[in-house]
Amino acid sequence: MVKSKVEQDIIDALEARAAEHGIDIVDVEVVGATKAPCVRVRLDKLEGDPINLDEVTAQTAWVSETVEALDPISSAYTLEVSSPGMKRPLRRPSDFARFVGEDVELTTTAMEGRRSYKGAIAAATDACVTIQPEGEDAVTIAFDDVKKCTLKPVFDFKGVKEGN
């Protein structure tokens, strides 16, 4: 995955402490204005049910300490700590392997004139991911060429109507 040096430095620092807290560092993004950017850290539990708001709040202190000690940005910045949400980012080969069969939206560096793919993860290895777009041939993409990949949320509005 393509990450900036600042983002990767923050990921490395957080991952060094995450396991002792039972936490998985899902993703880190630095977005917004250069003078006052926002550092977004997405967390989940290493095992079990997805992380909830109270657990995110409980983890924020050590995340903040770690990022502050690293001092990755010389100017003021905002730190956001959250769950991965329904559009969970996939960053590591193990993330892709975990979600084989799930639909994703993937953006690459320019490959044969195409940059984005929507489809199911057909396979994942340590080096690449195979995406099966609907109605198209499968395409295999090296992780070094993946810029961004998120799970495609599934909304089920076919539930039983209240009162019926």
* Per-residue pLDDT tens digits for 120-163: 999 999 999 999 999 999 999 999 999 999 999 877 777 655 55
Q: Does 102 fall in a domain?
A: yes
Same domain for 77 and 10: yes
Distances (CA, A) of 43 to 46, 132, 148: 9, 28, 17
Long-range contacts of 18-21 (CB under 8 A, 24+ apart): 18/43, 18/46, 19/46, 21/59, 21/62
Last residue of a domain, one of 53, 82, 111: 82
Same domain for 73 and 24: yes
- 3-class DSSP state for residue 12? helix
**What is the number of domains present in the chain?**
2
pLDDT for the residue numbered 12:
97
Name the pTM for this structure. Answer: 0.83
pLDDT for the residue numbered 162:
56
Q: Does 137 fall in a domain?
A: yes
- Whichever domain contains 122, its CATH number is 2.30.30.100
Last residue of a domain, one of 27, 57, 82: 82
Query: What's the length of the chain?
Result: 164
Q: Does 128 fall in a domain?
A: yes
**Is there a contact between 152 and 104 (Cβ–Cβ < 8 Å)?**
yes
**Is there a contact between 26 and 44 (Cβ–Cβ < 8 Å)?**
yes
Q: What beta strand segments (E) does 46-145 contain?
A: 78-82, 103-111, 114-124, 128-133, 139-142
Percent of the chain with pLDDT over 90: 80
Same domain for 49 and 106: no
The whole domain housing 130 covers 93-151
Same domain for 142 and 76: no
pLDDT for the residue numbered 89:
95
Same domain for 123 and 78: no
Same domain for 101 and 43: no
Last residue of a domain, one of 22, 47, 82: 82
